[in-house]
Amino acid sequence: MKTGYLVLQNGSIFEGYRFGADKAVLGEVVFTTGMCGYIETLTDPSYFGQIVLQTFPLIGNYGVIPEDFEGKCELKGYVVREWCDSPSNFRSEYDIDTFLKANGIPGLCGVDTRQITKIIRDSGVMNGAILDKLPDGENDEIFEKIRSFKIVDAVKSVTCGAGHTAFAPGAQNCVNDKGIRVALIDYGAKANIINELLRRGASVTVFPAGTHAEEILSGGFSGVMLSNGPGDPAENTFQIEQIAKILGKLPVFGICLGHQLTALAAGGNTYKLKFGHRGVNQPVKCIADGRTYITSQNHGYAVSDNVPGRAVISFVNANDGTCEGIDYPFLNAFTVQFHPEARSGPHDTSFLFDRFVNIMEGGAL
């Protein structure tokens, strides 16, 4: 295998072996702790612009299953300790090396992923590069390129090009068909958000992130779903303005970036976390009853605890106390930072979609 290098912004260099696409890339280096769900990670648009490192040492053992894709592969690079070239799963169609090559994503294996994770955990998220050759000393121009890299236009880059509507199979004859129509604003939406709504008998019309609020408000929808997505939430000034126009007029449910954008639209603030929450084992405590749920998360920004107006924090992260959910009873809206639709699990919080359906049917928040 061809030798390759991961070069971090702080000057750390890790030698490994190349797989996937044979090219050099710059990106923001982040780690995710999931023991499974690498297919969903590779196809989650929220990883736009990032070089993703898997902390679990063996990746790819159950192959690649296109049916489980969440969206288009948008990450910049992929780093693992070891990848499995002989996956065993009756649903598998090919291995992750083939997937990465097909999507133009370079991979690096054989590096000490534990040490890289410790560096990011202790120093914070930093930029990096996957290269074929070592930098020529500390003055090599690659270090300036790494330092100056910035993720921009993230939502604009991953949102859908045109809107479309999805219906639950046989919904018109289904006993669960509630006649509910949901407008989903796509900031980089994961496919399973739509699936969860369809399972509850709703129809879902997907709108690009650049859609004006007036188009949605005049569409006769029962409620609005604000999706996950990548990048700095504060960058999306147009989207924040549109959400502000929608709040209080239709029931709203926001997930991840949708959670952050709603807080900004309501007058709150967001900030960048030291190394973010990425994985499928994040404990979240419900303020109302004290119960703790295990959740899937993928975000580098958080909403400030100083929530706007009459808003109420509904969930907090049990590890670091950061805000994980907000209720806006006066606006008939609620949002969460974690992913209740997680396809690979856990499924502890999927009941939040039932809550959304109940609100659209006229129930109390």
Model pLDDT for residues 231-281, shown as the tens digit of each residue: 999 999 999 999 999 999 999 999 999 999 999 999 999 999 999 999 999
User: Encoding tokens for residue 332?
Assistant: 């008939």
pLDDT in tens, 282-311: 999 999 999 999 999 999 999 999 887 889
Element (H, E) at 214: helix 213-217
pLDDT in tens, 63-121: 999 999 999 999 999 999 999 999 999 999 999 999 999 999 999 999 999 999 999 99
Alpha carbon distance 189, 197 (integer Å): 13
What pLDDT shows up at residue 343? 85
Whole-number mean pLDDT of the chain? 95
Domains of the chain: 3-150 (3.50.30.20), 156-360 (3.40.50.880)
Give 341's contacts (C-beta < 8 A, 6+ positions apart). 190, 192, 193, 195, 196, 255, 350, 353
Residues annotated as catalytic are: 256, 339, 341
Q: What 3-state class would DSSP assign to 322?
A: coil
Cβ-based neighbour number of residue 112 at 10 Å:
12
